[in-house]
Structure 1
Amino acid sequence: MRRTLLSGLLLGLAALGTAPVVAQNTVPVTFMTAGDGSAFLPYGEGVAAYLATKGIHIEIKKSGGSNENLSAVDASPMTIGTAFMASAYEAVSGTGFAAGRKHENVRALFPMYETSFQVATLRKSGLHSLAELDGKKVGVGPARGPAEGFFRAAAEVAHIKPVIVNGDPAALSRQVLDGEIDALWQGAVVPVPSLVEVASQTDAIVFGLSDAEVAAVLAKLPALSATTIPPGTYKGQTAEIKSFSAWNFVVANKDLPDEVAYAITKAVLSATDPKSQIYPTAAGTRAANAANNRILPFHPGAMRFYREVGIALPTL
């Protein structure tokens, strides 16, 4: 996808009915997502494919997920990325993974979907609660990624010391199935793809946190909220699962040209059925869900689109 040029984006803008500013440079726009087996990667690929039908070309780049994406976007005007908003809170406040360095250049473009976290284990392991993971090997996704950060917070409130195992979700799913690790913790749109992979291939249990554990995590991380996953979401799941969640947004650098930010935002949010036109997890990719961002300022180009369609944005 090396055809990802700013000139191509501006041509796409023209196709959307807006006269672009003439640009002479041909700097590519990179779209940071995540690794194999993640939810971000296929979502990003779906967005890129949909934008290509509108004459807008962007280049997908795999990454370690939200934390890496936020840092890359903060550093590069021509980079956009997928981001978990609880990670975005750490980025802009200079806490958590971004301790000591506020990411002041990150802006929101459009909503993706809501992410919540669960755990998968093999039924034969006898593990079915967070407290029972003490001393166990738990896969948590890429090193220093948001899934690891939120698992460490959950482990702290549960007073357990599991063995952290890093890697792409797809690889960690295989390790659970092969008995190399005891559990897999992941967060994504529900049902979480890597957990579905485990549950669909063997007799597995998917579980979350207790009420007390959820409350304790929310007290530590105010950007999160409580969520419930109904029975039947995963194969073999007979009871509801309680956990925590937050929204994901596509973000951009504040210096991404306004015309480009507007073109991308308008094209994506003009999809009449994002679930079928973009990707199955994109049901929440709608303009009305922009109000779920209470962490980041919106990019001026994106704000222009929301004004046009009458969407009231939160005051930050």
Structure 2
Amino acid sequence: MKIQAILAAAVASAAIASPAMAQDKSDWPESFTIGTASQGGTYFAYGSGWANFMAENLGISGGAEITGGPMQNMALVHTGDLSFGLTTMGPARESLEGKSPLAPGMAMDNVCAMFPMYETPFSITTLASSGITSIEDIPDGATIGFGPSGSTSDTYFPRMMETLGVDFERRNGSWSDLGGQLQDGLIDVVAFAAGIPIPAVSQLEVQTDVNIIGMTDEQAKTITEAFPVSEFVIPASTYQSLEEPSRVVSMWNFAIANCDAPESLVYEMVKLTMENNDKMVSIHKAARTTIPENYTKNNVLAWHPGAARWFNENGYEIPESKIGK
């Protein structure tokens, strides 16, 4: 009986990896790297965990690289400096149209979608001691941290604040660094755009009292009409500091690949990700929406052929016209 139990366990542990074993790996790289963002943000936690999950089951080494976030990841994946990355649909569209501030005029069209990740809510955090409990309370000339330069937050949140009539001084930095500056009183507000729960916010509220600020119905309507975002509600259970759900806006994130990445490798990566949501959620809670049904949220990028093959095989229709060459 003991031998049978051992054999059963071995079969179970191999169940995830076995499909990859049947693939022709002749064009697979020995290792891979995925572009994420700064430490303290969701991209880095999600991307690092995903890379380890892929490496454990595909027989190649993998890891995450700290980058400037979605806009820079589009550039790095387009040029082939990185084979994989994480991006947000707004920066992806601007990069595809040649409007990236990192390379104006360059249409980054060698980037293909792999799978849906989660929505990025745009939310504001202040110290409770500041007395700032709403967007209207932010004083003229307040110093606001918008995340790493070129990040989704840095690209869109300043424009959103201006649209809502906020006058501010701009500060950039990693989420961890900005959280520390907020706690030390060096800045007044941090305007976060990251999957929830945001590690830097969770760490902040353990160390001090914070206010997590949402939008009024009117503010949310104004922003959704002016930017490529949709309304989103942060559940009260997300943070200790929230006593009720918080209305904000959000933008979808997708994992991306260089369109020339091996089709069989991308197929296996998508298969592992889409068929093991419990594992993805154990990496980061934001992965609750890393499910195949959300493939429809991509209305910007062409699909990688390997990704499209998995979705089409499993009943999620991606037409030939939407598949990268």
- Could you tell me whether the CA contact under 8 Å between 1:157 and 1:213 is conserved in 2? no
Deviation at 1:243, TM superposition (A): 1.2
Match of 1:284, as an amino acid?
T
**1:189 maps onto 2:192 in alignment:** no
Match of 1:80, as an amino acid?
F
Structure 1, unaligned stretches of length 5 or more? 1-11
> What does 1:198-237 align with in structure 2 at a 5 Å threshold?
198-222=204-228, 224-237=229-242
- The CA distance in 2 between the partners of 1:254 and 1:268, in whole Å, is 18
Deviation at 1:304, TM superposition (A): 0.7
- Could you tell me whether the CA contact under 8 Å between 1:13 and 1:263 is conserved in 2? no
- Alignment correspondent of 1:121: 126
**1:59 maps onto 2:63 in alignment:** yes
Identical amino acids, percent of aligned pairs: 30
- Alignment correspondent of 2:260: 255
- Could you tell me whether the CA contact under 8 Å between 2:145 and 2:171 is conserved in 1? yes
CA gap of 1:30–1:299, structure 2 versus 1, over 3 A, is: same
CA gap of 1:236–1:38, structure 2 versus 1, over 3 A, is: closer
Structure number with bigger Rg:
2
- Could you tell me whether the CA contact under 8 Å between 1:227 and 1:245 is conserved in 2? yes
- The CA distance in 2 between the partners of 1:177 and 1:149, in whole Å, is 24
- Could you tell me whether the CA contact under 8 Å between 2:146 and 2:158 is conserved in 1? no
- The CA distance in 2 between the partners of 1:111 and 1:218, in whole Å, is 21
Match of 1:291, as an amino acid?
T
- Alignment correspondent of 2:175: 169
| Length-normalised TM-score, structure 1 | 0.87
- The CA distance in 2 between the partners of 1:311 and 1:250, in whole Å, is 17
**1:298 maps onto 2:303 in alignment:** yes
Match of residue 93, structure 1, among 97, 100, 105: 97
1:205 aligned counterpart, secondary structure: strand
Match of 1:30, as an amino acid?
T
Q: Deviations over 1:128-181 (max 9, x none)?
A: 222333311111110122111221121121122211111110111111111111
CA gap of 1:103–1:67, structure 2 versus 1, over 3 A, is: same
- The CA distance in 2 between the partners of 1:67 and 1:39, in whole Å, is 16
Pairwise CA RMSD: 2.3
Deviation at 1:233, TM superposition (A): 3.1
105-114 or 235-244, which deviates more: 235-244
- The CA distance in 2 between the partners of 1:276 and 1:110, in whole Å, is 15
Q: Deviations over 1:85-115 (max 9, x none)?
A: 2221222223364653321111100111111
Structure 2, unaligned stretches of length 5 or more? 1-15
**1:74 maps onto 2:95 in alignment:** no
Deviation at 1:28, TM superposition (A): 4.1
1:190 aligned counterpart, secondary structure: coil
Match of residue 153, structure 1, among 146, 159, 165: 159
Q: Deviations over 1:51-100 (max 9, x none)?
A: 12212432321111111111111111752101112221222223364653
- The CA distance in 1 between the partners of 2:143 and 2:25, in whole Å, is 54
| Length-normalised TM-score, structure 2 | 0.85
1:118 aligned counterpart, secondary structure: strand
- The CA distance in 1 between the partners of 2:196 and 2:282, in whole Å, is 19
150-159 or 230-239, which deviates more: 230-239
